[in-house]
Amino acid sequence: MWLSTLLVIAVAALRASAEVVQNGTMCVVTPLSAASGASAKRQFGQQAQDDTPQILDAFKRCGTDGSIVFQEGTYHIRQIMDVTNLRNCDIHILGKWVWSADNLQYWISHTLPVTYAGLHTAWRLGGTNITLRGHGKALFDGNGQVWIDENKNGSNRQGRPISLTIWHATNVLVDGITWRQSQFWHTFVAYSQNVTMTNLDMNTTSHSQYSAVNTDGFDSWNSKDVYLRNWTVTCGDDCISVKGNSTNIDVKNVTCHESGCACIGSVGSNAGQPDFVDDVVFDTMECHHSSNAAWLKTYPGQGHIRNVTFRNFVVDDVNQPIYITPCTYSGNGCDGSRLAISDVTWSNITGTSRYNVAAAMHCSSAAPCRNLHFEGVDIKPRAGGTAKVLCSNIQNQADMGLTCTGTCPGNWPQQLNGNR
């Protein structure tokens, strides 16, 4: 029904040659690129167009008990967007949103903090009862190649913005949006509850000598009751990553390319405060030509990871499909970590590993892994032969359902490079 209403208002908006037209609690936004005639030329001259002001104006006018329609066309976004007080708001995006790349210093100095690891975002979206629908038409273009080249294979670059952050939000639906060349992480859910994200398509791929480092598809932190369905992701790091203080995260039907695929972590780096992850399910995942598949990575901190299931995975040419480390990145302090890992299940994990290691699991000797369970694990090296399963400090190793063929060193690399 909203579409027929949209058509009437959209025609009125075009006739009025306005950027935002409000009719009651509905706002219809027309991109400046669609403005016609001498008025547009007088307004812009040779300056770059910036649609951010009218986007924010629409949120201000219709963000409470209202709806906002962004019509087809290209929207140029040159400023941060902090929209955190929405209530009962339906957002419909039918056009292409392009984040500017000719003003990197603006973004680096103005992006919005998200607390976690000193990172920042270009857009914080928060409030209660929010729907953000792309209807299969919305395209978010972050001009990511410029950020990749500026970052020069670095990791967390302060000021490099996450594309979309769901921030202090409750009851949120995000559906039908495509991302291309994200600036940094595609999506981040923080301090939020009951978030559903469906039918999303993401691809950030470098076309230069530098890699698309840390262009995660999804990360959660300090959030609960998050549901992901029907995603396709190509990115330069973790496809789906569940970070500290996340509870009841349910992921199903996700295809990941060139990534870390399904990950718990990093966890345990929260400045001495315990980190926990509880009740996570990854179900029906495909991991293609990726670094990892179904894995857990922690720092040597405090807290726990408990009740995690990796189920129905197809892995194709994956560096190391099953992996546990208590000392990610550093290889130091591995056996001093007291962050306990327990009740983790890998069920129906099949496919090929890039090298001759199917699983490498080093748990901390100070907090051995408990109640690990494996069933239906069938991973074969791509080049043939028998895959190794390397295990250290697993309490129920004898009856966990997977036969270990050797021990896993504490300083085992996160990225393998060759057979072992």
pLDDT tens track for 199-209? 999 999 999 99
Q: What is the CATH T-level fold of the domain 1-237, as seen in this structure?
A: Pectate Lyase C-like (2.160.20)
Minimum mean pLDDT among 1-5, 74-78, 363-367: which range?
Answer: 1-5
CATH for 245-420?
A: 2.160.20.10
SS3 of residue 390 by DSSP = strand
List residues bridging with 349 in a β-sheet. 313, 377
pLDDT bracket for residue 11 (50, 70, 90): very low
Distance CA 220, CA 111 (A): 19
Residue 329 pLDDT exceeds 90 = no
Q: Judge if 1-237 and 245-420 fold alike in CATH terms.
A: yes
Handedness of CA 327, 328, 330, 331 (dihedral sign): positive
Residue 23 pLDDT exceeds 60 = yes
Rounded mean pLDDT of 134-141? Answer: 98
Rounded mean pLDDT of 3-16? Answer: 46
Rounded mean pLDDT of 210-234? Answer: 98
Rounded mean pLDDT of 279-297? Answer: 98
pLDDT bracket for residue 97 (50, 70, 90): very high
Rounded mean pLDDT of 215-238? Answer: 98
Write down the H helix ranges in 111-235. 144-151
Rounded mean pLDDT of 315-338? Answer: 94
What is the reported pLDDT for 47?
66
CB neighbour class for 99 (10 Å; exposed up to 12, middle 13-18, buried from 19): buried
What is the reported pLDDT for 77?
98
pLDDT bracket for residue 157 (50, 70, 90): confident
Residue 270 pLDDT exceeds 90 = no
Please provide the average confidence, as pLDDT, over all residues in the chain. Answer: 93
Domains in the chain: boundaries: 1-237, 245-420
Rounded mean pLDDT of 216-221? Answer: 98
pLDDT bracket for residue 325 (50, 70, 90): very high
Residue 286 pLDDT exceeds 90 = yes
Residue 411: other Cβ atoms inside 10 A: 12
Rounded mean pLDDT of 363-389? Answer: 97
Residue 10 pLDDT exceeds 50 = no
